[in-house]
Amino acid sequence: MTDTQRPNVAPADIEEFRLAARAWLEANAEPIGEVSSEFADSESGDNDNDNDGAGSWGQGAFSVAVFHNLSDEQEAERLEATRSWQQRKFDAGYAMLNWPVELGGRGLATSYLRAYNGEEARFRVPSAGELPPTSMGLIAPTIAAFGTEQQQADFIGPLMRMDILGCQLFSEPSAGSDLASVTTRATRDGDEWLLTGQKVWTSGARFAQWGLAIARHDFDVPKHKGLTAFLVPFAADGVEVRAIKQMSGGANFNEVFLTDVRLPDSLRLGPIGEGWRVALTCLGFERDHSGGGGGGHAGGGYRQVHALAEHLGVTGDPVVRQMLARLYADYKVAQFTNRRAAAKLKAGQTPGPEGSLGKLMWTMNMTSVSQAVSTLLGARLTADTGEWGTYAWGEHVLGAPGYRIAGGSDEIQRNIVGERVLGLPAEPRVDKDIAFAAAQRLARS
Ligand X SMILES: Cc1cc2nc3c(=O)[nH]c(=O)nc-3n(C[C@H](O)[C@H](O)[C@H](O)COP(=O)(O)OP(=O)(O)OC[C@H]3O[C@@H](n4cnc5c(N)ncnc54)[C@H](O)[C@@H]3O)c2cc1C
- The only residue of 7, 55, 126, 176 in contact with ligand X, by rule CB under 6 A: 176
- The only residue of 35, 115, 231, 406 in contact with ligand X, by rule CB under 6 A: 406
Question: Quick one: 170 or 276, whose CB is closer to ligand X?
Answer: 170
Q: Is 39 in the site for ligand X (CB under 6 A)?
A: no
Question: Quick one: 97 or 232, whose CB is closer to ligand X?
Answer: 232
- The only residue of 86, 152, 181, 202 in contact with ligand X, by rule CB under 6 A: 202
Going residue by residue from 363 to 402, which x/- string records binding to ligand X, judged by CB under 6 A? ---------------------------------------x
- The only residue of 146, 155, 170, 362 in contact with ligand X, by rule CB under 6 A: 170
| Phi then psi dihedrals of residue 404, to 5 deg | -75, -15
Q: Within 10 A of 259 (CB to CB), how many other CB atoms are there?
A: 13
CB < 8 Å & 24+ apart, contacts of 305-312: 305/369, 305/372, 305/373, 305/376, 306/54, 307/53, 307/54, 307/55, 307/57, 307/389, 308/53, 308/373, 308/376, 308/377, 308/389, 308/390, 308/393, 309/376, 310/57, 311/57, 311/389, 312/376
- The only residue of 35, 162, 167, 305 in contact with ligand X, by rule CB under 6 A: 167
Question: Quick one: 351 or 408, whose CB is closer to ligand X?
Answer: 408
Amino acid identity, residue 206?
Answer: R
Question: Quick one: 115 or 360, whose CB is closer to ligand X?
Answer: 360
Q: Is 77 designated active site?
A: no
Stretch 226-265 residues interacting with ligand X (CB under 6 A): 253
Task: Output the smallest distance, CB 398 to ligand X, in A.
Answer: 12
Catalytic residue, from 75, 119, 172, 286: name it: 286
Task: Output the smallest distance, CB 323 to ligand X, in A.
Answer: 26
Task: Output the smallest distance, CB 166 to ligand X, in A.
Answer: 10
Task: Output the smallest distance, CB 1 to ligand X, in A.
Answer: 31
Task: Output the smallest distance, CB 258 to ligand X, in A.
Answer: 13
Q: How far apart are the first and last CA of the chain?
A: 61
123 strand-pairing partners: 31
Question: Which residues of the shown chain bind ligand X in the complex (CB under 6 A)?
Answer: 167-168, 170-171, 176-177, 201-203, 253, 402, 405-406, 409, 411-412, 415, 427
Residue numbers annotated as active site: 286
